[in-house]
Amino acid sequence: MKKCAFDSSMSERVTSYAPYILMLYSADSRQRKSLLKSMTWKQQRALCEVILNVYKGTFPLSKYYLKRLLPYRTAIHKLSSGKVKKSDKRRILLKNHLMLPIVIKPALKVLKNVSRVDTDTAGKI
């Protein structure tokens, strides 16, 4: 399998929770909100790391996605900050759950590759 150029940017935390992040991407609004309410602290950290990678520019964004993310810029900034408390990040994620598919979209290709590799190796063990 050909490796993506962004695989090195994904930490072990994100790769282990890639299926959860993909589920958040494909869920509808109600399901996404329910998933966010029941997420663990580790899942929240993995999701915030994906948001941080998008914020830092690890994944290139088209002008279309930049324009769609503009209304959420303060939420993205707070979620990518290390100074915001866990409970506040959870509240921000629940309030701005509609932005998640837009934020996850640039990292989608890498997450799918990582998720596929995890499921392939799990069957061989």
Q: What whole-number distance in Å separates Cα of residue 34 and Cα of residue 78?
A: 22
Top pLDDT among 3 and 64 is at 64
Residue 113 has pLDDT above 90, yes or no: no
- The rounded percent of the chain whose pLDDT value lies above 90 is 64
- Checking if the pLDDT of 81 tops 70, the result is yes
Domain-wise residue ranges, the chain = 12-116
Whole-angstrom Cα distance, residue 103 to residue 124?
Answer: 33
CA 88 to chain centre: 17
Between residues 43 and 118, the one the model is more confident about: 43
Q: State yes or no: pLDDT of 3 exceeds 90.
A: no
Nearest one of 69, 88, 66 to 79, comparing CA atoms: 88
Q: What local confidence, expressed as pLDDT, does residue 122 receive?
A: 44
Predicted local confidence at residue 97, as pLDDT: 95
